[in-house]
Structure 1
């Protein structure tokens, strides 16, 4: 309000001074009063404006006659100064006088520009007196009467309306106004302090009304707008913590937790302040986000924050402990552990450290972090040797083992605990021990042993806190690990068991997971049936819009594009109505992808028109907070090109690349760069692309990840030139450029500057698309040497794959070790499958044929009790198994296996041709004779099989790759060789004999 009032008053100074020439006393009072206001001298300004209204406006009618409506401006200024000095009753009278006594009249020479604005300020004065109903009525009157030219600060206006409604107990109306202020925060320039003030009033009103849902809904919906930069949020920490404490007293745990989560950590605040101060350079102040930042003030805040952090008196020493407690009571031990960990790592001087350490140790054990739990248990013993928690440390070891995945040890210990009577039946400890035993058998794949134990546990402990949650989360986790068959079984059992349970919390989630499992197992009818149930039985579920997205996926995979489009549109409609912007963005992504598939033609297609419309909707309404920016920028290219908007397509790609470049884990950045590369090369040369990418708009020297990917894209382009160029000098030039680019990549970027995501991406690129895969090793090693665990299995897989290409025995052993780690510990089914496949290959390469066969059988095992559910490399693994038989001189087994391989993979020349060739060679060498006219001898059979193979696959020969042609021709040569044997009849002879017999 300060900015509005002073600016408006200064604009009127000239107008009011026009009558001061006749009445100098009034003019001096007006101008001096205005000067005092602009300088913030409110007491002086009030005295001057008060004297002006007393001496020259005591009789309103006379003042109106002499000075006209313009005299109301002096009353307005007087009211403003009274507001500033919190003289609300006097301010009401001043604004009332401005409004009632000095209205504007048609065709009058003078005007009172504040006549209607006075209603707004009058309402503020009423609000200051706690007269909330009156304030609302005055503001409504203002909105009805104000002229379009009457500008006012809309953000604070709606916040004030919200506060008044909250004070009156009308939470719904208050939320509507507060959301208006928040949603239009940038446009209205709503101050953060005003938003927090409105939010405070909402929480206070909700606590009084015991309405926790309205707070959680509001925070969930508006979290992004509520949370500002950490250094700004720090100023509101005390308010938020008080509100959280009030919520705890009111037993509103979710509210308290949500409020504590809004309090930024002191370390983050310190880092943010340092960044802000550093960014100011030599300037003392700058404008940022509509606010004026003062370096001296920021430095003072930094000093205070650093002192609080150093002495352990930071806000979060209280908020983190309270948050941890709340999270655990709400069933979130992971969050509690994280909070206690922050307390220990950042605030070792905090009060009650002994308690915090014990809870850190305990929650670490509960979530399976054995090493961390043991570490903090030892710290407790060292720092607090007489701790009251010493005995509890031993009891939690079982929890450590189970939640850390040490299931064999957990089985051993839980069996011992249960059999020894260390825990009494019917207690929580016995409940947990029996659950661990059953769960450990499940996790180790011993389903027969687990089944009765799970049944016994559920029967003995029907009220156990683990029963429903464990069953759903295990099933859901299995589906997320993409073990679809196992997940389907678990989810079906869960749905059947709990379909009539009063608590339906997990049923819609399980239905959605089951639908996903159906879809992933190529069971479209099942996926549609489960989503139908979800939609019809749980119409209020937050997953409805996502269910329609999944239905669209199913229809699209089945080729029913019209139905898919309809489902995506329904998902979009629901998501918009529910404010689910993420799902709305996802639905738009699928719509754009669906309608943009065809290449642009001479005429604009209706699909491209619609896709372009969806694209505009996305960028206008959902792009700001959507994770699909990069995907849509890529997907929309065909459509925008098709409607003549190629420049827009490039613009969006460029913008996305520039934005993603600022994000540490920018998923989709590589795809966006690749699409941009293709589009740019339509009208530019590779050399121009190189120059463009070295100075890409919006990407600066700090955006190291994006710059590295841009360099990789350039390398890819020149590798394409080197591969496709016909001229020898062009090939040499491209290869030289590639070498230079790689050298620059290594020189310009230190590995430590790149995120784990980018390091793995770069490593994978070097490994899979260049002729020097070993160049990737340092990138993978950098990831594996860090404390940050993200993308660890991706780095292990890449490193192992490179080592597996080596001829060194040491490298091959290292490859197997890494692959075994992935196979045993990764939660990604595809990673585990690839790891086992490469283990089998490397064992063959090492000559360990027996182990290779054992692992191949493990891969191929389809026994429901043992199957891993792997299938992507079935053909290749089958060929390796056959080769292992051959190497071990198990001729009959090898022959049978080769037949299975080429018989099931006839069109897969890369596998079927080597299998056919080996089968022919072994059969010919075995040379088993047959006296049964219905059974051919080995050598004749080898020829016959090879001839038929060539005959069946010959028609596809034009589509073979050069490698496939070579493999096929090897079979062809063998057929020609065997038919020359005098004991082998040619196919021509065989056919002639058949004709003769007829």
Structure 2
């Protein structure tokens, strides 16, 4: 791109028309000028320059007066010579003289190069690394040029401006001009070579500033305009690869990937090149519109592309490597694995094939695909048995998983691998360690314990011995086996007392303090924490230590000291630059003060201090935004708190990796509803800023949070407010059901929706798809609630559905550690077995629920009624009567159970019809049925209007039966209802 504004040098010297009285002098100037031009056309630049200097020396004095503006051509062409000879300062002065001293002043036949000199002057400035001056001159030419006579090539103009802006580091301005040239390359005549030069400058400028956003935007926006025919792209493959690798080296992985994607595949290049060569036949050259095909060039390009593919060194290989790096950087292990799998399949001769296989093993393990990892590890060992990495492949699988926190896949891989490993091998050593560590990190402390103990026994000299000894002791702390934990911690601290050689010592002191605290040895706990503060000021355990210290001081009623301790820790953390510790302490202080309504305002300075100095620590932003809500409201900054929390909520909704949105949504909903009302909250969450229609999980989260906010109003003493809240909840759930398919909802919301449809609508089977989807998502947190909900629906269905319900309930009862879930499961087991007609099993389950040591209380009346019915169905009249009597006797006011119990009792008594028998049975069965039924009716008559319709029907049946009993000779009617038992 030496001369993008090119038609400025004519093929023959222009005759200078210089009117003057001295004709001989004029002839001399004309002759010198013509000779100089011939020298230029022959590339004899030094000779031409000397001639122009001579012409100017002889005739330059008062040249404008003697020859007019046309003399400026000498200065213009002199500048051209100086440009070719790299004498840039001199060239700039020559072009400036042509423009400044020889203006046309309206004369059309004067200095043909008057305005054109501005372009050459600009090019000289650009070449002299004066981009700002070049921009000024290019723009000046565009403003002043004669549109009829002065040439202008818009493609070259915008490319030149872009290059200048990039040189100045003005990436957005440069990108804007480059985009103009690119988008209009056909109409503006921007050559591919010029565009590539512009792209090189763009990437250089953007990578220098680490400005990946501009690069990504540019390439994504202009992808279509940048596309070249495959045969043409082959010319610039090297340039594009360099652009991509430069971006990659600067850490701009996304931009590198976008650049690679501009290149067609090697196969497409080969096919297009062969097609062009076939069209040319025997012609050495073939002119085409806008370009010329040269056979030798096409053949050379084809040979290069074929060689790269054959040798496993094509640009696709680099593209796939970049793709793998990009996906890994952004946490997409599946994408990383796919890229390495393609590298493995397509480039068997690649120099880095061993690395590709190695990374296949690693990514398969990280994805939890143990079988694939083993298969790829076997291929690695077979192809590269002498590789230094061969012995590390199995260990690498486990370490990669463990260190990335992929504990569940690691457990899967390690449990499959452990039985195959020989005791004493490095693989067995690390497998035991990571499996025990995984169980520890995932809260499966009982499973971790034997593995850690086995490692301690087998590998006292292991590189992991120290960490496992600490984990063994910490495991007992997590199991709350305080005495054993204390002994192990004391032994660990005694064995590794040197802090410089024991990275776990600070954590061990914190654990030891927890043991002391559990044993109510507060003084010893505070002593251990004091050592932690003194000897390990940089320990990650310090923040938790400060928290425990605060708890201990608060437990001792030393609230002021607890607060002061946190303040001292804050000062120390800030002094030593421990930003994360300082941020956490600020959060603790804000939370501590925020719990006291009288001290809410005192929390505000700590909140402000966090936002001023630590906002970049993302892990604390959400908790602080929630902790400060009430405090900011107390100082009339509720709007600010709401806006900040809304921003946090938006971030979490957009990217769950930023943190769970549920807690932030609840606080935000409460504040927003308080400020604007529930109806406005419903509208606001439905139209939450930044959410798109396809963000279904985020939108569903907001919908369920709005429901929770409305549910809080159900406790209102205002009956109208409660009724409105109940109506709004129903509306919100119906909207949720209408707007979202079950597959679009997260597990927790699926269960909530299912529970609503099951318990608060007339069509509980609507809940089944939601429970089914929740179970299918295999989320451990909601599996048991989902199974409970599904079972409650299926228990009322067909025999097959009841069987499924019983299986679900048994799984919950056997598996859950949650007492409420266990109770719910056992209750529904009773009901499902009753419905299924398995009355003996139902009775056993009922007795298990009612056992004194079960701890179950919530549904005792219903279970007692079910037990009574199970006796009744099994023909156990005496047991049935006793059980029914206990229900209507103990729970008379609970008509949902007492009414059906009484109805069954009088029916069984009447049917059994045993006669009176002394003190043991003072009344006959039929007299007792009549009298107790009559007394029950009188006791419960005031409750009739509040009964469910099914219970009203049963009550009326009791009334009918007692009337029929009174009309028989088997009973003696009474004048008024008798007290129970008379």
- TM-score when normalising by structure 1: 0.46
- Higher CA-based Rg: 2
- TM-score when normalising by structure 2: 0.47
